[in-house]
């Protein structure tokens, strides 16, 4: 390469570098200013320009500037905490049954409801403006809505099973006195038979003695079952209570969703639209400060 080519090359590359650096500075300035002026909407736009363009401006396939996007990666938690203030405020109205706990900077757990035994339902992804629901809990809820259509409850079948078993076991227990009496009677009869036995015992006597032994064995089996019955009944009752609690929690959750959204599908739709709905809401804020609910 000639000296001129080298020097022109050096100029070119320095321009490239300067351009890149300017671009980075612009980006960071943008974020800094947006935060200073509480312009949450602009922060979201800067964090994910492509999504913003697609969902808000309806301009498809705007590429993200990869060079700058990761500049604030190490500030993700702090940005999350910062942006959560307005978001949680908004969600307080849109999803009145969700409660949040910041267990770590920028990380939020969602609790469904403030009732007795409410469940942890997932996490709130602030930067991406989406709910990350715990799949097991979410599926239970979805299933509960389905079952409600046919008038059933989530754990009804299992609860019925256990209740029936308890009835059977209780029956065993209830008859323990009679069983005890029968056992005593058989034992006495056996003692009698034994005392008259011995070498000269007739085969008939032997037969009837054997029958006594068999009957006694059966009674003792039942007695053993009954021994554990009390404990098993308690265990089952505990399980039934847990299952019933779950049913109750689900019914409360369903009620909340129905009261706020009308139905499960509407709830799911709202979840999908959270990004767009929230950013639209943010653009109604003046000076980045939250408008009071009266003014909304």
Partner 1 sequence: MSSNERVVSNTINQVAALSNSIKEGLELGQQYTSLVDELISTTDDEKLLLATKRLSSLDLTNAFVQLPQHYQVADYFLLMMDRLLTLHQIEGFEIFEDHDHQLTATIHPFEKQVTFAFAFDDEHQGAFFNEGASQESLFFIDLDNRQLRFSNHALVDFFVENEFQHFSDLDLQEAVKPLVDFANLLKTQLGFKIDLGILNPTNAYNVRLAKPTMDLTMIDKLFVSTADSQYMLFTLPHKNGALLKLDAGIQLRIFYDQESYSHEWFYNVTDPDDQVSLFDLLIHYPLLREWYLANRDDVAVRSLPLILQSVTDERPTDGQLTSSREEEADDQD
Phi, psi of 103 (to 5 degrees): -85, -10
Do 119 and 107 contact (CB within 8 A), yes or no? no
**What would the two tokens of residue 85 be?**
């203030």
Should residue 116 be labelled a site residue for partner 1 when binding is judged by CB under 8 A? yes
Should residue 291 be labelled a site residue for partner 1 when binding is judged by CB under 8 A? no
Rg (CA), the chain: 36
What is the C-alpha separation between 137 and 93, in angstroms, rounded? Answer: 23
Within residues 214-243, the interface with partner 1 by CB under 8 A covers: 241
Should residue 151 be labelled a site residue for partner 1 when binding is judged by CB under 8 A? no
Should residue 20 be labelled a site residue for partner 1 when binding is judged by CB under 8 A? no
**Contact window for partner 1 (CB under 8 A) among 29-37, 43-51, 89-97, 245-253:** 245-253
**What would the two tokens of residue 190 be?**
């056996």
Should residue 148 be labelled a site residue for partner 1 when binding is judged by CB under 8 A? no
Residue with Cβ nearer partner 1 (64 or 247): 247
Q: What is the nearest approach in angstroms of partner 1 to the Cβ of residue 238? A: 8
Should residue 244 be labelled a site residue for partner 1 when binding is judged by CB under 8 A? yes
Q: DSSP character for 279? A: H
**What would the two tokens of residue 223 be?**
């007695």
Within residues 62-101, the interface with partner 1 by CB under 8 A covers: none
Q: What is the nearest approach in angstroms of partner 1 to the Cβ of residue 237? A: 10
For 180-201, b/e burial (b = at least 16 CB within 10 A) is: eebbeebeebeeebeeeeeeee
Should residue 252 be labelled a site residue for partner 1 when binding is judged by CB under 8 A? yes
Residue with Cβ nearer partner 1 (241 or 291): 241
Q: Which of 134, 247, 258, 260 binds partner 1 (CB under 8 A)?
A: 247
Should residue 266 be labelled a site residue for partner 1 when binding is judged by CB under 8 A? no
Should residue 103 be labelled a site residue for partner 1 when binding is judged by CB under 8 A? no
What is the C-alpha separation between 125 and 147, in angstroms, rounded? Answer: 30
| DSSP bridge partners of 289 | 286
39 Cβ partners below 8 Å, 6+ apart? 33, 288
Size of the site for partner 1 (CB under 8 A): 12
Q: Which of 118, 130, 185, 232 binds partner 1 (CB under 8 A)?
A: 118
Q: Which of 61, 66, 70, 114 binds partner 1 (CB under 8 A)?
A: 114
Sign of CA dihedral 41, 45, 47, 52: positive
Chain residues binding partner 1 by CB under 8 A are 114-118, 241, 244-245, 247-248, 251-252
């Amino acid at each position: 390469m000639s000296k001129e080519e080298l020097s022109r090359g050096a100029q070119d590359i320095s321009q490239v570098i300067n351009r890149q650096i300017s671009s980075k500075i612009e980006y960071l300035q943008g974020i800094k200013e947006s935060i200073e002026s509480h312009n949450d909407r602009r922060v979201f736009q800067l964090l994910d320009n492509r999504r913003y363009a697609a969902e808000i401006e309806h301009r498809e396939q705007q590429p993200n500037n990869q060079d700058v996007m990761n500049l604030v990666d190490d500030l993700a938690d702090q940005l999350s905490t910062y942006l959560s203030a307005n978001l949680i405020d908004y969600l307080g109205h849109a999803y009145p049954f969700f409660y949040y706990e910041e267990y770590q900077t920028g990380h939020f757990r969602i609790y469904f409801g403030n009732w007795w035994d409410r469940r942890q339902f997932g996490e709130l992804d602030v930067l991406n403006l989406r709910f990350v629901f715990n799949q097991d809990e979410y599926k239970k809820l979805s299933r509960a809505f389905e079952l409600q259509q046919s008038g059933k409850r989530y754990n009804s079948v299992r609860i019925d099973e256990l209740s029936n078993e308890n009835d059977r076991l209780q029956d065993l227990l209830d008859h323990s006195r009679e069983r005890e009496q029968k056992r005593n009677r058989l034992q006495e009869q056996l003692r009698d038979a034994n005392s008259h036995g011995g070498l000269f015992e007739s085969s008939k006597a032997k037969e009837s003695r054997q029958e006594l032994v068999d009957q006694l064995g059966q009674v003792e089996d039942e007695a053993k079952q009954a021994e554990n019955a009390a404990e098993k009944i308690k265990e089952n009752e505990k399980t039934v209570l847990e299952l019933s609690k779950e049913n109750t929690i689900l019914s409360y959750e369903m009620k909340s969703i129905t009261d706020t959204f009308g139905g499960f599908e509407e709830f799911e739709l709202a979840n999908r639209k959270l990004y767009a709905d929230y950013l639209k809401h943010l653009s109604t804020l003046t000076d980045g400060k939250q408008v009071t609910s009266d003014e909304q």
